[in-house]
C-alpha cells in the first residue's frame, strides 16, 4: 500500500508534536505521593517591624506530616517572645502538589494555607509576606525508620 508523502513542513510538525509528547511524559510525576513524608522545621525566621527573629533558636518547632491521600497532620509551636504567649496549632488538614508547589490547608489558623511551599524532594521551602510581617521556613524531610 502506498501512502501519500506528507509535505516537509507537516512531517516536521508531526515530529515536533511527537517529541513534545514523549518529553512531557518523562517529566517528574505530579502525583502528590512523591512528597509523602514527615518534615521538620530546620529554618524558621520571622521579620516584624524590621526585627528578624530566628524562631528555631528561640525554641519554636514545626513537624508536618504529609500522608498518602492528601491528608496532613502535625504540630506547630511558636515560643512566645516579649511577653507574647506561646502559640500551638495542629496541622491537621489537607495537602496537594502541582509540579514543585505543595499547598497545605490546615484546620487551625496558621500561615500554611497562604504560603505555597516549594518541594525539591528533600525539603519544603516557603517565603511569604503577610500584613505586619514576613515568614521564611524550610522544612526538611526526616528519615523514615521501618
CATH class entry, domain 32-141: mainly beta
Query: What are the phi and psi torsion angles at 144 (to 5°)?
Result: -80, 135
- Would you call 138 helix, strand, or coil by DSSP? strand
Tens place of pLDDT per residue across the chain (146 aa) = 443 444 444 444 444 333 333 333 334 445 547 899 999 999 999 999 889 999 999 999 999 999 999 999 999 999 988 788 999 999 999 999 999 999 999 989 999 999 999 999 899 999 999 988 999 999 999 976 54
Alpha-carbon distance of 119 to 122, in angstroms, equals: 7
Q: What pLDDT shows up at residue 54? A: 96
Q: What torsion, rounded to 10 degrees, do the Cα atoms 64, 60, 132, 71 define?
A: 10
Amino acid at each position: 500500500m502506498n501512502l501519500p508523502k506528507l509535505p516537509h513542513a507537516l512531517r516536521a510538525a508531526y515530529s515536533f508534536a511527537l517529541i513534545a509528547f514523549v518529553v512531557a511524559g518523562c517529566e517528574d510525576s505530579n502525583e502528590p505521593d512523591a512528597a509523602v513524608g514527615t518534615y521538620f522545621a530546620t529554618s524558621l525566621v520571622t521579620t516584624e517591624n524590621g526585627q528578624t527573629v530566628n524562631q528555631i533558636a528561640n525554641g519554636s518547632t514545626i513537624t508536618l506530616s504529609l500522608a498518602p491521600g492528601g491528608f496532613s497532620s502535625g504540630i506547630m509551636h511558636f515560643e512566645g517572645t516579649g511577653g507574647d504567649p506561646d502559640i500551638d496549632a495542629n496541622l491537621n488538614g489537607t495537602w496537594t502538589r502541582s509540579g514543585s508547589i505543595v499547598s497545605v490547608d490546615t484546620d487551625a489558623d496558621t500561615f500554611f494555607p497562604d504560603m505555597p511551599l516549594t518541594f525539591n524532594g528533600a525539603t519544603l521551602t516557603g517565603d511569604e509576606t503577610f500584613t505586619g510581617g514576613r515568614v521564611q521556613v524550610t522544612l526538611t524531610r526526616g528519615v523514615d525508620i521501618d
